[in-house]
Amino acid sequence: MNVRRDAKAEKGLQLLVGFLNLSHIDPDKIRVVRTTSNSRAYARIWGVNRILQEALNPKAIYVIELVDDLFEKLNCEEKIATITHELAHIPRTFSGYLRPHNRYFKKDLLAMTRRLRKLPRLEKQVICEYFTYRSAKSTKGQRSEGK
């Protein structure tokens, strides 16, 4: 599995957190990485628990993993919805732990989705550009060369 940090996507994450008014989330403490994992998930979020935070004192306490091959196939709306879903796993305490898919998670995700619907299309496109790693042309060229 290949892992690389995506600073461009981290800037998009800052915009998205701001637009969604998620005041409990500090985007500077979230890293975004792209992987070549064989996972069926488009994205995952990882948290650093309190013990590791104390022992290692990391700058980031959450990592959002974008599974490159799958995430890049999503359209703009789906990419933003996927990132929003991962952000909904972050508790209001911003403690490094992750929220499970329970009724509170679903309630908060629904509220975030409603806020997303109110975003103008142009702002969504601006955010989406930060989450697009490569253009569709270069992706097609790379796939045909690799076969």
Percent of the chain clearing pLDDT 70 (strictly above):
90
Identify the three-state secondary structure at position 122: helix
123: which residues sit within 8 A by CB, 6+ positions away?
A: 19
Q: How much is the mean pLDDT over the chain?
A: 89
138 lies in some domain: no
Average pLDDT (58-71) is 94
- The interaxial angle of helices 76-88 and 7-19, nearest 10 deg, is 80
Are residues 90 and 99 in contact, defined by beta-carbon separation less than 8 angstroms?
yes
| Number of domains the chain contains | 1
* Alpha-carbon gap, residue 26 to 20, rounded angstroms: 13
C-alpha distances (whole Å) from 78 to each of 29, 33, 112, 136 are 24, 18, 14, 16
* Res. 144: pLDDT tops 80: no
Q: pLDDT grade, residue 133 (50/70/90)?
A: confident
pLDDT at 134: 65
141 lies in some domain: no
Residue pLDDT, tens place only, 73-94: 999 999 999 999 999 999 999 9
15 lies in some domain: yes
* Alpha-carbon gap, residue 80 to 78, rounded angstroms: 5
144 lies in some domain: no
120 lies in some domain: yes
Please give the residue range of the domain that contains residue 27: 3-133
140 lies in some domain: no
* Alpha-carbon gap, residue 81 to 27, rounded angstroms: 17
21 lies in some domain: yes
**CATH number where 90 lies:** 3.30.2010.10
* Res. 99: pLDDT tops 90: yes
143 lies in some domain: no
